[in-house]
Amino acid sequence: MWEYFTDPVYAVYAISLCLFIPVFLLGVIAQIRVQTVFAKYNGISSSSGISAETYVRNFLESSGVYGIRFAAVRGSLTDNFDPRSKTISLSDTVRGSSAIGAIGVACHEAGHAVQHDKKYFFSSARLKLVPIVNFASRLMWPIFIIGYIFGFASPYTAVGRIFIYAGLVVMGLSMLFSFVTLPTEFDASRRAYKYLKTCLLPEEAKGVKKVLNAAAMTYVASFMMSSLQFIRLLALLLMSRRRD
């Protein structure tokens, strides 16, 4: 029993279990915060009265990026940039709004368009990982369900280890995707803020930065969760091999 407290592998597994709830709560808090910060600054109009979409168009033009399409998307904070079709989709609460929060969110997506045009390394890497991660994730869930139904999921059986290895691959890809996403999102926000602080009042620019920082924390929480899941599965596999 003492090995659970002295063996590093058992300790790592125990720590990963203990951290699951705090990291999960961090993700929930980050989501709540981005909603509340956006709601606050989306109620404060910029002194210019210019719409978020116009700011985006000006940002793209000043960055030498052309040929970007615009589309409308329903919902709140559903804004996105699709590099395959070179389309920026702006939500109902952002597109025509002149609020500080809307401007920050819209220009963040424009930042992704600039990244794509300039062939930013992490942005290109994330784009290549998307189909691989999606395929692996879709394949993994049926495998796990079958494994649990037939009792194959135990790490102390040969077949069970196959499931653990498969889980490690999927979680590893997910962790890699989250890792690549971090600099991509931070860089898009950096580009947006760098542009906006030249055309907004100082207090308005501070509001934009708070919105962008709140959004960034959701990606940090996602990376922490995927890393924790990978570490837990790896420790579980090492524990099963030691038991043999």
What are the catalytic residues?
109
d(C-alpha 155, C-alpha 162), whole Å: 9
Beta strands in 15-156 (DSSP E): 69-73, 80-82, 87-91
d(C-alpha 124, C-alpha 112), whole Å: 10
φ/ψ of 82, rounded to 5, equals: -105, 105
SS3 content of the chain, % helix, strand, coil (to 5): 75, 5, 20
Residue 126 contacts residue 135 (beta carbons within 8 Å)? no
CA neighbor of 199 nearest in space, from 37, 59, 39, 95: 59
d(C-alpha 239, C-alpha 244), whole Å: 9
Residue 53 contacts residue 106 (beta carbons within 8 Å)? yes
